[in-house]
Structure 1
Amino acid sequence: METSPSSEFVVQFWGVRGSVPSPGKETVRYGGNTSCVEMRVAGKRLIFDGGTGLRMLGKSLQPQQPLEAYWFFTHYHWDHIQGVPFFTPAFVEGNTFHIHGAAPEGAAMEQHFCDRVLHMNSPVPVKSIQADLKFYDLVCGDTMTLGDITIETSPLNHPNGAMGYRVTWQGHSAVYCTDTEHFPDRVDENVLQLARDSDVIIYDAMYTDEEYHSAKSPKVGWGHSTWQEGVKAAKESGTKRLAIFHHEPNHSDDFLDQIEVEVQDAFEGAFLAREGMIVSVI
């Protein structure tokens, strides 16, 4: 039986890579596009971040226009905004996007988006944007609602800051928790609060513990975590499923296959995010 859009709660991954796009023969199965995740909840479309995966999401949406969507940014490093100028629905009159995020101190979200996200060096004439863009300033820790959908936010441990999101509908929750670095002595309380008893957490596990603590090239202080720490967070928070996300650009498909074996041995509900993958939250 086909599920009606008003009764579904699914996550679809459009970009799962971190730092920089990594196309090539060694990244075909997991994908090389940077962070972009879509949630379809109770007939509403929620978009998280605008990495290069956003371009493919935009292509998939063209037959559904005119459309309305709610857009949420964790932060504004390149790999999370590179796809914005290539999001074709933004250039179509009649589409509406509600854009949420926390701008740097002293700036409003609309000003920051227009000046920094729609960058002057873009190869696309961003002045041609025809969609109706509506802007909303969030503060980490805010909770908002979209009808009967609740969206909680929390600060994450990342250079220049980042925001995590928890989306809850009819007692089910999906958590988008990327670009965060674990603490050496404990699981981050903000991560635990977001992930508490959730159905799935999408977690930044860019490195392995070995890479993170490498003697030659340690990644401590770079603002990212490991799959081993993701397992700790999943177990301690009581989440059902753990999506390993924000894959390191140099990690090949074969390397990620091995990580998935190891992470599933450590936590039964774990899996690696792949471009195009659809996960039901209910």
Structure 2
Amino acid sequence: MKKDISGDRFAIQFWGVRGSIPSPGPTTLRYGGNTSCIEMRIGGKRLIFDGGTGLRLLGKSLSPSLEEEIYMFFTHYHWDHIQGLPFFFPSFDEESRFIIHGQVPDEGEPMKMARHFRDRVLHLNSPIPIAQIRAQMKFHDLVCGELFTLDDIAIETAPLNHPNGAMGYRISWGGHTAVYCTDTEQFPDRLDENVLHLARDADILIYDAMYTDEEYHNPKTPKVGWGHSTWQEGVRVCQAAGVKRLVVFHHDPNHSDDFLDNVAIEVEAALPGSVLAKEGMILHLDRLNDE
């Protein structure tokens, strides 16, 4: 049965919350082991951000043939953000309609999003024959820093500090704002101005907090330069930018449920109202204070 989104004013559902590589197993059941994928249902439209392995679960919740268009957005194209695409059920139905947004990485060869998506994102190593993907696809080439609209939904973008580049999104509708800012690393001497600009006065910031400060700066296993941040940095961004709620996202695949439970306690103490993303979790921005 097709998921009815007519009653959702501004709802965000988390389908994959893990970073880098899927991490299934008994120690990750409560938070989930699938990689990055979130769905925003806003004013009758369905927006999907990133296509990690969580996208497969999202596809299973939908009718194979959808009446409405699906708007897809990519932060970047590392495998943990695209691995679910060949397993997204609506892509095999010729009646499905996707409008795909993203920026082609600067690799020396000028390329439009349509070619990049077919040649490099739908990878030849996929176990599913790519020729069987029959959905109707349109493409929107984004330029980082631009502001564009989907009817009355305003979407702003900004570059993030990540190997090979990544892009953050600020989505505003009906007086509410959500910021999706994953796969980014702060600078040693300052908070990233691009992240602060995206996050300004937002209702929620979905933030790459893959590590703790202690892990990030551990001299024996340093994570500096890996392109990811910490939950403590997320708290600092929220405090500096006036964000109402932090959502800790892109969990380290080595972090167990018990480890993340302890992080949740520390995050709540540092910034009351903050939460850790879990697979299946739904946040309604129009009634955020009631959840």
TM-score band by shorter chain is over 0.9
Measured after TM superposition, the shift of residue 64 of structure 1 is: 6.6
Residues 7-45 of structure 1 show CA distances to partners (whole Å, capped at 9, x for unaligned) of: 610110000000000000000000000000000000000
In 2, the alpha carbon distance for the partners of 1:66 and 1:40 equals 15
* Matched residues, number: 280
Q: 2:265 aligns with which of 261, 269, 274?
A: 261
In 2, the alpha carbon distance for the partners of 1:114 and 1:168 equals 30
Residues 47-84 of structure 1 show CA distances to partners (whole Å, capped at 9, x for unaligned) of: 00000000000011126723311000000001000001
> Per the alignment, do residues 78 and 63 of structure 1 end up closer, same or farther by CA in structure 2, a change over 3 Å counting?
closer
Residue identity in the other structure for 1:16: V
Unmatched 5+ stretches in structure 2: 287-291
The alignment status of 1:52 with 2:53, answered yes or no, reads yes
> Partner of 1:13 in structure 2?
14
- In the TM superposition, 1:35-184 aligns within 5 A as 35-62=36-63, 65-105=66-106, 106-184=110-188
Measured after TM superposition, the shift of residue 126 of structure 1 is: 1.1
> Partner of 2:289 in structure 1?
none
TM-score by length of structure 1 reads 0.97
Residues 209-236 of structure 1 show CA distances to partners (whole Å, capped at 9, x for unaligned) of: 0100011110000000000000000111
- Give the CA RMSD over aligned residues: 1.2
> Partner of 1:33 in structure 2?
34
TM-score by length of structure 2 reads 0.94
Residues 238-278 of structure 1 show CA distances to partners (whole Å, capped at 9, x for unaligned) of: 01110000000000000000000000000012110000000
In 2, the alpha carbon distance for the partners of 1:5 and 1:92 equals 22
Measured after TM superposition, the shift of residue 4 of structure 1 is: 7.2
Residues 175-217 of structure 1 show CA distances to partners (whole Å, capped at 9, x for unaligned) of: 0000000111111111111110000010000000010001111
Residue identity in the other structure for 2:100: I
**Structure 1 vs Structure 2: percent identity of aligned residues?**
67
- In the TM superposition, 1:269-280 aligns within 5 A as 269-280=273-284
8 A Cα contact 1:6 1:41, kept in partner: no
8 A Cα contact 1:49 1:81, kept in partner: yes
In 2, the alpha carbon distance for the partners of 1:161 and 1:232 equals 23
Residue identity in the other structure for 1:218: P
8 A Cα contact 1:67 1:94, kept in partner: no
- The residue matched to 1:141 in structure 2 has which SS? coil
8 A Cα contact 2:8 2:44, kept in partner: yes
Measured after TM superposition, the shift of residue 107 of structure 1 is: 1.4
8 A Cα contact 2:19 2:251, kept in partner: yes
In 2, the alpha carbon distance for the partners of 1:64 and 1:136 equals 22
8 A Cα contact 2:102 2:140, kept in partner: yes
Measured after TM superposition, the shift of residue 130 of structure 1 is: 1.2
- In the TM superposition, 1:236-251 aligns within 5 A as 236-251=240-255
